[in-house]
Amino acid sequence: MVKEYKVQGEILEGILENIFDKRAVRQEKNLSSIKDIIHRELSEAALESIVHLMLTDKTFIPTKVGDYVKMIPPKYHEGSEFEIDVLEDMGLLGKGDKHSKYYVYARVIDDTSWGSDPYNPFHANIKVNIMYHDEHKTLKHYEAQVSPLHATYINRRFIPFLKEEYQTELKLEDNGKDINATIEL
């Protein structure tokens, strides 16, 4: 799992000060009130998201319900919820990077807010169905909550398992014959 750090409010406030300066408002004396309102009224999750997006080098793509994401699974899932080699064979294991040796895929279900408000891709946590396998090496889903900042949008066509499972095009040889057709001897 990605290491997460808690940043004190005063540090966040200092980072957010860079957003506004005296040229951004008509009455310079209102600047401290504007900063205070933003810092006091925005939720911790919103402030963390803003700072994360300000400082990241990656483009963040907000998700929608039904979208697929790649994420680092909880360490304690390895061996109990999935085996790396089985996920890899199934096309459910993403290539790693400097943050993790590998990624798993999940599908966005909802955010974790109460009520029937529309889905908020910037809520503190989103609900996802992580795509694992069962003892018979078939797809199973594991519902989990994850920060939307740690769930990277991925187009379904880049998930090998889904690419194979949802292949609907007729594959033809160069001569126009169906390559899946049975051969008569």
Determine the Cα–Cα distance for residues 117 and 40; give it in Å rounded to an integer.
23
pTM of the predicted protein model: 0.76
| Phi, psi dihedrals of residue 177, rounded to the nearest 5° | -85, 145
Q: 68-103 pLDDT, tens per residue?
A: 999 999 999 999 999 999 999 999 999 998 889 999
- pLDDT digits 0-9 by tens, 127-156: 999 999 999 999 999 999 999 999 999 999
Residue 137 gets the label, from left (phi > 0), alpha (psi -120 to 50) or beta, of left
- Alpha helices of 82-157 — where are they, by DSSP H? 84-90
